[in-house]
Amino acid sequence: MVLQFPPWRHQSYLALVRDWFFPNHTKQNVFSAMGSDSPHDMRQRAIEKVNLWMFKAGQLPPAMVATASLTEALLHDEARANSSATVISESAMQSIYAMAFARFVNAFVDRDVARSHAAGMAKEDSATESDEEVAAFSANAGKGENSMYAHAATIGMPQKFVDIRHQVTHGNLPSVTVLKKMTEQALEWLWERWWVKNASGNPALALSELEERARISREARELAKATAALPSEDEPSEGLSHDRLMEGASARATSRKRKSTAVEDNSY
């Protein structure tokens, strides 16, 4: 899918979100520069950014949506593992993984949508070993050229992804351990098949812009706070002498008079 009017300002923003989603492929300074040393924080921020882009554009490339959905499932599982309290049950975690994974596979190999997305995820001419395995399976599967397996072979999607999709669709949910492993493999597949090819900008530009905007926002808040602490002209601060108050009032009157004169001069 090629968006005519993408919601990101330029390619560097897409590349930055790519790096937030995939900390294992990213330099650590991308996280620390944004005020966080935790890849977890940046993955959550990437999910929120994709949701915002979806709201603005109405649609996004399925690889981007799938990355956000699969990553969110992983974050739920990590929060569950790191929490002493039982936040999410085992069966609920299975359902979260299963739903995200089924939607991921359907977005690429479902018969009704496969044609529109196949071009963007087409295999490279130089097939890798895993690509050859997929092609061999497709040739021998005997499931028809319009089957999910055939569509998966067209874009280089491993057979096991479709197998897992069929299992969860028919209510035969694998264990959380298996689903987590498959989710991680699916994210690596998305990295190689879509993100590396389509998010080709330099994230440093977007990072610099975000830092500048954060600095301006911080300075504006500090200025507003300092201004609010100043005494009002109509409410003199306690402890100031009458003479000093009069001097201040006189100075303000003179300033207003000068501004008025300047306005009159400029009106001609």
* pLDDT value of position 83: 76
pLDDT value for 140: 45
Q: Mean per-residue pLDDT for 106-126?
A: 64
pLDDT confidence of residue 115: 59
Q: What is the pTM of this model?
A: 0.69
pLDDT attached to residue 233 = 62
How confident is the model at residue 268, as a pLDDT? Answer: 41
How many CB atoms lie under 10 A from the CB of residue 236? 14
Cβ neighbors of 79 (< 8 A, separation 6 or more) are 87, 88
pLDDT at 251 over 80: no
Per-residue pLDDT at 57: 86
- Tens of pLDDT, residue by residue over 145-195, are 458 899 899 899 999 999 999 999 998 899 999 999 999 999 999 999 999
Q: What is the mean pLDDT of the chain?
A: 77
Q: Where are the domains of the chain?
A: 61-117+160-201
pLDDT digits (tens, 9 = 90+) for 98-111: 999 999 999 999 86
pLDDT band per the 50, 70, 90 thresholds, residue 71: very high
DSSP string for residues in 49-118: HHHHHHHHHS---HHHHHHHHHHHHHHHHHHHHH-SS--S-HHHHHHHHHHHHHHHHHHHHSHHHHHHHH
Answer whether 76's CB lies under 8 Å from 180's CB: no
Q: What is the pLDDT of residue 40?
A: 61
What are 197-250's pLDDT values in tens digits? Answer: 998 877 777 676 667 677 787 778 878 887 887 776 665 555 555 555 556 556
pLDDT at 175: 96
pLDDT band at 267 (very low <50, low <70, confident <90, very high): very low
CA distance 182 to 155: 18
The residue with greater pLDDT, 10 or 35, is: 10
Lookup: tokens for 262: 């300047």
pLDDT at 32 over 60: no
- Looking at residue 26, its pLDDT comes to 76
The predicted pLDDT at position 200 comes to 82
Residue 179 has a CB neighbour count (10 Å cut-off) of 24
Query: In the predicted model, what is the mean pLDDT of residues 4-20?
Result: 84
